[in-house]
Structure 1
Amino acid sequence: MQTNLAAQFKNTPDGDEAEAILRACVHCGFCTATCPTYQLLGDELDGPRGRIYLIKQVLEGAPATERTQLHLDRCLTCRNCETTCPSGVQYSRLLDIGKHIVEQQVKRPAAARYKRLLLKEALPRPWLFSPAMKAGRMLRPLLPDSLAEKMQPVPDAGAWPQQAMPRKMLLLDGCVQPEMAPNINSSAARILAALGVELVVAPRAGCCGAIRYHLADHDGGLNDMRRNIDAWWPLIEAGAEAILMTASGCGATVKEYGHLLRDDPVYAAKAKRVSELTRDVSEVLCAEQEALVALLKQRPPAGPVAFHPPCTLQHAQKIRGKVEDLLRAVGVDVRLCADSHLCCGSAGTYSVLQPELSHQLRDRKLANLEATGAERIVSANIGCQSHLQSGTSTPVGHWIELIDQMLA
């Protein structure tokens, strides 16, 4: 795609990257066929190709409008289009650049500004988010449905292994997961302990940076990333084997630290190393599969299980089939639903900012998952897990909990 950048974007890191991405696009439209929002709305501007044109116009000097902003806001950043694209267009990077520029040009209504400010300031801070969730659960009957559905019971985390082991991996606790589902990381810790690996949580590590970065607060998101690198670095130098992620959304972001901080003279090399060390928990357990299978002598949970692969796992991290294969290897009857490549509508803060579209996608996904006949649904990302549970009485959890229950 031929591009003529406006003067203010020429010879800038974002401008140069955006131009390279735009030139890779050949207008084929394959991406449109797998775009969830295009399927719902039928508008070319609510598909990847249309949004690429909108961003191109802004980069070439056309003023952004509220309509430009709306079409970019409606994107889930599911990255299904990147999986589909035959030319390897890095659409999500272009979208982040475009949204950042448009945010500077178009002033949102006051209510929208305050909502986004609340999300990017409260969600990444557990000391704010945790008491807010506790209060929300107490007041759940008084809350509007859009908020009440988020106030789900907290599972029991169980005991964290206390034995020190020679093999050590870092574990990102995250920002919302410790309050919403503390059992996920404790399950991972127990499983890895059974395999002889100690999971270590660095106290000063927190939000991976995705929340602020994808809300167009690039400076805030990058600062979150730098804080995590500082927290992890002494433990990396001490010999930590890997940085383990139990939330695929966080994993997708941390694996991009090297790229996002490539121009930072202080953090570029460290960020690259952090990205190289980052592993989804499925990657770690697949490498230990033989030992894991040997440990699992008991019967698996009764009944079939439906697996929802999050977009951040299958499209961002390009991890497909690992979880399913691992679960089958240990005796679980795991099933994929129809259109398992499509987004469930969670997409980070999307379910709060675009609830109507988000709920349509959730209900479609749940109908397909329940059609498998499974008695339980599992996923690999806290956002998807919570979003799906808000629309069904079928239990929804993290797949790592299945392994933990089999070991118990």
Structure 2
Amino acid sequence: MAGFDMRTVLALLKKELIGLLRDKVLMGVVVYAFSLAIYAQATGLSHDLRNATLAVVDRDVSQLSTAIVAGLLPPRFQSPVAIAPQDVDSAMDRGQFTFVMDIPEHFQADVLEGRSPRLQLLIDATALMQAGIGSGYIQQVVAQEVAAYGRRAGITSAQPVSVVTRLAFNQGLNSEWFTGTMGLINNVTMLAILLAGAALVREREHGTLEHLLVMPVRPLEIMVSKLIANGLVILLMTLLAIMLVLVKILGMEISGSLVLYAAGVVLYLFFATSLGLFLGTISRSMPQMALLFILTALPMNILSGGFTPIESQPQWLQNAMQLSPSTHFVGFSQAILYRGAGFDVVWPQFAATFAIGLVFFLFSLTRFRRFIAAQQ
């Protein structure tokens, strides 16, 4: 290719890798981000109902009320605590319990006579995630115990339809798999942008950029070498994180092809490292780079569909996020790793990621050339 020497790129690539590996602090951040950080996020940020505090005011003290309380046991709840009615308000005010169930008098007798008694459930909704999940689970336990007691008592159910739920892709509802994968995806975005941008800022701060400018190298060769070097490190750490942290430690089952996923990561890194290098051209120091990173990478991660479904966003924001490769990255990551999707399913997302990445690469190259010209 005219104006592009692959031997020069390989020489610059070697220089970039050596410089990156010698930066012990930066490499320490990379290793931490793809190991302990993913494990801590997967195990520390749980979407499950675990060890929720529960108190019970049992005014009925019947066989049915005892069975309901017995169904609310660890690991979803701590052992239910019996509490007097007059102590409920003060306990809730102190935040002592997330849930307080008040079972009325004559509850069992009303069930037997078909009077549909009401059971009160008080919830401290400041614990929002536990409140939503726990409320549904408690209602499910109550309904199951009431139905089971009714069958034993010879009461025929009037419910004409029974709902059978079947779970797909994550039958155990293991939130660690989801949270760990989202942590990996977010770290790929953050580290790819930071490493590529820091590579250029580091050249400026160390005074080695001037050395490059007096050598017979072209801006395209410099840019490509930096993108490949930093992208290669991120790709290798991503695959290691999948095999060691997600699969080996967390026990996640990878449904799809890792080779196909690696190809998708390469396409996404084409965009993310180009973005990082662009930010590096307009940053005069690492603090400036960090501020620009906050304004770009964090919204990309938050709105990409990894934290909340794209469908829950306003329509204009859904349309706007289709222009962000991070949205497509999350989409094909979940499709391949969770649902075992093949290339015939994810190729539109691959194509969108590559197309947007190519546009941004050309834009970053233009900016990089101007940056190099301004340094000469």
- TM exceeding 0.5: no
Q: TM-score, normalised by structure 1?
A: 0.23
Larger radius of gyration: 2
After TM superposition, the score normalised by the length of structure 2 is 0.25
Pick 1 or 2: higher relative contact order, CA cutoff 8 A, min separation 6. 2
Structure with a larger share of its residues in helix: 2
